[in-house]
Amino acid sequence: MPVTLTTRVDDDLAKLIDDIAAKEGMDRSTVIRRFLTRAAKDWLIERSLKDYEEGKITLWQVAERCGLSLWEAVSEVEKREIHVPYTPEDLEEDLEGI
């Protein structure tokens, strides 16, 4: 069930939102919902990739947490230039497997 949230924004932001709504043929609420959805998803991806970079979770877990495919998660890693947590121990383990 939808929940109503109320917040205050400055006049410049309200005008920008109204301008976007007019150009896109949407009402103000739709524009705000779309922006909030996009910002929340972006935050979730950023937070999850930080956890990945710190070695707290795997890339598969990033994908699951964010509702992405593994390849979309890889693309986000590349796009955001995330350091892949690959240790010398990981390399040794991989070499032993070969």
Within a domain: 6: no
Total domains in the fold of the chain:
1
- Dump the DSSP string for the chain: ----------HHHHHHHHHHHHHHT--HHHHHHHHHHHHHHHHHHHHHHHHHHTTSS-HHHHHHHHT--HHHHHHHHHHTTPPP---HHHHHHHHHH-
Q: What is the pTM of this model?
A: 0.78
pLDDT value at residue 85: 73
Domain, as residue range, for 82? 11-97
pLDDT in tens, 27-59: 999 999 999 999 999 999 999 999 999 989 989
pLDDT value at residue 89: 79
pLDDT value at residue 2: 87
Within a domain: 33: yes
